Amino acid sequence: MSVDPYMRGRMNDRKSYVPPFGLGEPLEGGAIGEVVASNADGFAEGDVVLHGLGWREYAVVPAMHAQKVDADGIPESAFLGVLGMPGLTAYVGLLDIAELREGDVVFVSGAAGAVGSLVGQIARERGNYVVGSAGSQQKVDYILDELGFDAAFDYHDGSISERLRHAAPNGIDIYFDNVGGEQFEAAIGALHQHGRIALCGAISSYNNDEKAAVPLIVAIGKRLTMRGFIVRDHGDRREAFLNEVGPWVREGRVKYRETIVDGGVEAAPQAFIDLLRGANTGKMVVRF
């Protein structure tokens, strides 16, 4: 079962792109399950399926909301992460929202996370120069040594603008934003003319209403495009995504990490809190 940062937003009692969780009702989230009984054509006992009713041990899932998983040598949990919703988020955000082009320099925050690590690797596989940021030296080492980014820095380590200038001395073309806050503001300073920001997440403000300070004169002068998106709108890209990234995962060219927590639904709340604190590396998964 998957725990994801966006779930924090559903714990506020306010209008958002997904309705808040209901009081007295189970939470929900992405999960991989085994079919134990089926009345639906095309699903048989023992099939492995991806569905959206996690945070419980058994669920009645309408056939139209379940997708059979054809793992073909890939661990099933990958379909919650690198080949699941976070993976598609990276793919759509980088290619469709930020419109990656040949020669673009890409900066991604939260670069050790489930989304950020794939953003950088897709860009790298396509031949782009990639800079990542994360919250510890250990994560920075992972980004450089295992994920193969061209440069990376710890955002706690002095001025973010200076660190970014050091990592990308000639500036950047794309900022893939997973965190908001100061990194967003530093990226605006580093972006080239016609730069693009994919607004994917803002984990630094999930627990408050922090706003990013956008110098409009700079945004106009640089002809910047800032665009928010929600992966849910882009299900039509899933096939292209799996066709391009699936083989990279199978061949081991794209790396991913999972932080797997055992203990089922009882362990899930703490896993979620740890996720928001950044205690994970890569996709956070709870095993039942």
List interacting residues with a second copy (CB under 8 A).
9, 16-17, 177, 180, 184, 193, 199-202, 205-206, 209, 211-217, 219-230, 233
Distances (CA, A) of 252 to 15, 67, 202, 234, 245: 41, 24, 30, 26, 11
Hey, what are 169's tokens? 């001395």
Residue 173 CA to residue 155 CA, distance in Å, equals: 20
Give me the least distance between CB of 207 and a second copy, in Å please: 11
Give me the least distance between CB of 173 and a second copy, in Å please: 15
- Residue closer to a second copy by CB (options 209, 251) is 209
- Residue closer to a second copy by CB (options 211, 287) is 211
Give me the least distance between CB of 287 and a second copy, in Å please: 30
What is the pairing mode between strands 225-228 and 191-199?
parallel
- Residue closer to a second copy by CB (options 226, 268) is 226
- Residue closer to a second copy by CB (options 9, 148) is 9
Give me the least distance between CB of 96 and a second copy, in Å please: 12
Contact status, residue 79 vs residue 149, Cβ threshold 8 Å: no
- Residue closer to a second copy by CB (options 68, 232) is 232
Angle made by CA atoms 16, 32, 93, in degrees to the nearest 5:
45
Residue 139 CA to residue 129 CA, distance in Å, equals: 19
Based on its alpha-carbon atoms, the radius of gyration of the chain, rounded to whole angstroms, reads: 19
Angle made by CA atoms 120, 33, 201, in degrees to the nearest 5:
30
- Residue closer to a second copy by CB (options 1, 188) is 188
* Residue 188, number of CB atoms within 10 A of its CB: 20
Q: What are phi and psi of 236, to 5 degrees?
A: -70, -10
What is the pairing mode between strands 225-228 and 258-262?
unpaired
Give me the least distance between CB of 269 and a second copy, in Å please: 22
Residue 53 is given by DSSP the state B
Give me the least distance between CB of 168 and a second copy, in Å please: 18
- Residue closer to a second copy by CB (options 33, 195) is 195
Give me the least distance between CB of 183 and a second copy, in Å please: 11
Q: Which residue has the tokens 């800032």?
A: 226
